[in-house]
């Protein structure tokens, strides 16, 4: 199914950390997880125009339109983020619907300088029709077709979603928060059955670019848990690229401020477990 509009949070025109090479990154609004370690919590929910953020805006850039929706004056907004900080709903008044042709025009402007595009979030598979339409438009455009198309996902999507994306998607980065379903539920609010299925399925189709393991101290970073995860992933694909990421507090919601940051020595120990399991393509950040 085609979708001519997507719900956009933001774009970054050049990124070196969202997949291979230099990439244009599209952040879509809305997520089906509620991760304790989320660094962009304002991407989780849609704005319900409650109005809490209108008064605190120091530039008076926010107001109610004729349909009682909170809207922003882009010419006045200074991107100070105060509206995001006061929002009780993990949302933002700055997200917007964007037309497919408007987005491809922005990509076209920087296309000589990028190697591909990545759609992130939020959770991009929630807008799979729009992502499919965007990737299809890129693959069908003579000038843009050399760009690779990647998704950065929490993996919580069924085969029907991946089957729509696979014909136009070159690769995916998938987060695995925990192999243990109870730990996964504690960290994300959801079970991990679909995530594990996604990793297996994309590996079968040779579209699993990378699995990301975010280590959150005291939650999922015991040597035993990482060893079990490593064995499971190795069974899926011994040549898999794994990125081990240490938790940092930046951007995390105040109610999770007591979670400590990852200790570098402990991260080195966990990296050794992955290396010993047999992963050669291992990145630690
Ligand atoms: S961004 Fe948050 S605080 Fe502002 S109107 Fe929307 S839901 Fe309310
Ligand atoms: S980021 Fe939000 S609070 Fe800051 S100026 Fe823009 S609309 Fe106002």
Q: Are residues 195 and 78 in the same domain?
A: no
159 and 29, same structural domain?
Answer: yes
The pTM for the full model equals 0.95
Q: Are residues 89 and 104 in the same domain?
A: no
Does residue 102 share a domain with residue 82? no
Please check whether residues 158 and 141 belong to one and the same domain.
Answer: yes
- How far is the centre of ligand 2, averaged over its atoms, from the C-alpha of 85 (Å)? 10
Q: Are residues 189 and 145 in the same domain?
A: yes
Whether 151 and 194 map to the same domain: the answer is yes
Using the 3D structure, point to which of 61, 94, 127 is the last residue of a domain.
94
Strand order in the sheet with 282-284: 96-99, 5-15, 23-28, 116-120, 148-153, 171-175, 208-215, 242-246, 282-284
Three-state SS letters, the chain? CCCCEEEEEEEEEEECCCCCCCEEEEEECCCCCCCCCCCCHHHCCCCCCCCCCCCCCCCCCEEECCCCCEEECCCCCCCCCHHHHHCCCCCCCCCEEEEHHHHHHHHHHHHHHCCEEEEECCCHHHHHHHHHHHHHHHHHCCCCCCCEEEEEECCCCCHHHHHHHHHHCCEEEEECCCCCHHHHHHHHCCCCHHHHHHHHHHHHCCCEEEEEEEECCCCCCCHHHHHHHHHHHHHHCCCCCEEEEECCCCCCCHHHCCCCCCCHHHHHHHHHHHHHHCCCCEEEC
Q: Atom 4, ligand 2: which residue's CA is nearest? A: 80
Residue 59 and residue 144 in one domain: no
What is the total count of domains within the chain? 2
For each successive 10 residues of the chain (285 residues), what is the average pLDDT? 89 96 98 96 97 97 95 96 96 97 97 98 97 98 97 98 98 98 98 98 98 98 98 98 97 93 98 98 97
pLDDT tens figures, 235-248: 999 999 999 999 99
Closest CA to 45 of 5, 4, 87: 87
119 with 234, same domain? yes
Q: Are residues 113 and 27 in the same domain?
A: yes
**Maximum CA extent, the chain:** 62
Which protein residues are within 6 Å of ligand 2, measured from CB?
57, 59, 61-62, 72, 77-83
C-alpha of residue 50 to centroid of ligand 2, in Å: 16
Residue having the nearest C-alpha atom to atom 4 of ligand 1: 53
Q: Are residues 65 and 177 in the same domain?
A: no
Q: What are 143-197's pLDDT values in tens digits? A: 999 999 999 999 999 999 999 999 999 999 999 999 999 999 999 999 999 999 9
At 76, which CATH number? Answer: 3.30.70.20
Domain containing 165 — which CATH number? 3.20.20.70
pLDDT score for 236? 98
Task: Provide the pairing of β-strand 208-215 with 171-175.
Answer: parallel
Quote the domain boundaries for residue 83.
47-94
Which of 55, 76, 94 terminates a domain? The answer is 94
147 lies in the same domain as 260: yes
Show which of 94, 109, 127 is a domain's final residue: 94
């Amino acid at each position: 199914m085609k979708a001519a509009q997507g719900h956009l949070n933001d774009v970054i025109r050049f990124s070196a950390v969202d997949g291979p090479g230099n990439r244009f990154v599209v952040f879509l609004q809305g997520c089906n997880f509620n991760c304790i370690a989320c660094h962009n919590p304002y991407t989780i929910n849609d704005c319900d125009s409650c109005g809490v953020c209108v008064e605190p805006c120091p530039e008076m850039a926010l107001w109610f339109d004729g349909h009682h929706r909170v809207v922003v004056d882009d010419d006045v907004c200074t991107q100070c983020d105060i509206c995001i900080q006061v929002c009780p709903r993990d949302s933002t008044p700055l997200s917007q619907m964007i037309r497919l042709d408007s987005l491809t025009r922005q990509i076209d402007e920087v296309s000589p300088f990028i190697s591909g595009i990545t759609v992130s979030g939020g959770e991009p598979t929630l807008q799979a029709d729009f992502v499919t339409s965007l990737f299809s438009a890129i693959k069908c455009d003579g000038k843009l077709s050399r760009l690779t198309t990647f998704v950065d996902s929490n993996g919580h999507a069924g085969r029907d979603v991946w089957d729509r994306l696979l014909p136009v998607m070159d690769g995916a980065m998938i987060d695995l928060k925990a192999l243990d379903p109870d730990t996964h539920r504690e960290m994300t609010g959801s079970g991990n059955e679909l995530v594990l299925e996604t990793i297996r399925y994309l590996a079968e189709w040779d579209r699993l670019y990378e699995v990301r393991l975010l280590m959150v101290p005291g939650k999922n970073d015991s040597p035993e848990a990482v060893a079990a995860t490593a064995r499971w992933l190795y069974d899926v694909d011994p040549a898999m690229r794994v990125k081990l990421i240490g938790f940092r507090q930046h951007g995390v919601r105040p109610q999770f401020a007591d979670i400590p940051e990852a200790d570098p020595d402990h991260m080195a120990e966990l990296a050794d477990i992955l290396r010993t399991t047999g992963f050669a393509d291992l990145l630690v950040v």
